[in-house]
A and B are shown apart, each in its own frame.
Chain A
């Protein structure tokens, strides 16, 4: 499936969460059928979300409280931290739990 350019929507009135959700929707629509982690994290919308920086951390953590998500692949790049034990890498449920513990320790919850 073709990858569409990101950031094409009018941004003047878009909130941070609206921009985040717009990019998430595009990312999931264009990579949701893929298994390649390199293609999933390399997608332009995913890269744009990471470039939004720390403002998206609470949004990602809120999603992780609902269910395990691949935001666990974005958070290390945004935070410069990685609380996931080596033995749990690739286990998205345990990676999610590690990031929610990290959130408590860092005052996000």
Chain B
């Protein structure tokens, strides 16, 4: 916990919790996309997965397009909406994407922290020097399986 709070000081004193062991198998983008089998990143195609047809560029537009392949579209606000799933994209001061978090049905967020653990947290808790700030919120109609689990 101390390691995470040193990296993300806004976690201190919040109700965040670690929800998985560390894993090299998937990263934050994959976790936000609901994929725990692959490492999503637009880098070297011999190393990472990136959706077909989306430019392998570390730009906000490319990340938005990657999530568009899963039917996500930009929206205005991060508050939970019944029947919708939301993703928040973080970027550094130069606008380069750094992280993605996925909203849970109770309005909290879940993140895979690189090679480290998954955590459940508040959206603002990860804002800071490491991931920068939230620059884009995406949403899609929740698939039936998700709606069923919310009941």
* Complex partner residue of B47 from A28, A34, A69, A73, CB under 8 angstroms: A73
Determine the chain A residues whose CB is within 8 A of the CB of B43 once the complex forms.
36-38
**Given A82-B46, A84-B46, A89-B46, also A33-B116 (CB < 8 A):** yes
Q: Give the docked Cα–Cα distance between A47 and B22 (Å).
A: 23
How many B residues touch the partner, as a band?
20 to 34
**Given A28-B115, A31-B115, A37-B41, also A90-B49 (CB < 8 A):** yes
**Contact (Cβ within 8 A) B114 A34:** yes
User: Within residues 31 to 71 of chain B, which ones have a CB less than 8 A from any CB in chain A?
Assistant: 37-41, 43-50, 58
Asked if A32 is at the interface of the complex by the 8 Å CB criterion, the answer is yes
Determine the chain B residues whose CB is within 8 A of the CB of A38 once the complex forms.
41, 43-44, 58
Q: Mark B16-41, 1 if CB is under 8 A from A, else 0.
A: 00000011111111000000011111
CB nearest neighbor in A for B7: A33
CB nearest neighbor in B for A76: B46
Q: Mark A10-43, 1 if CB is under 8 A from B, else 0.
A: 0000000000000000001001111111101100
* Complex partner residue of A70 from B49, B100, B112, B115, CB under 8 angstroms: B115
User: Within residues 66 to 97 of chain A, which ones have a CB less than 8 A from any CB in chain B?
Assistant: 67-70, 72-73, 76, 82, 84, 89-93
CB nearest neighbor in A for B129: A1
Smallest CB-CB A-B distances: 8 pairs: A90-B49, A35-B27, A37-B43, A33-B114, A90-B38, A34-B114, A37-B41, A92-B25
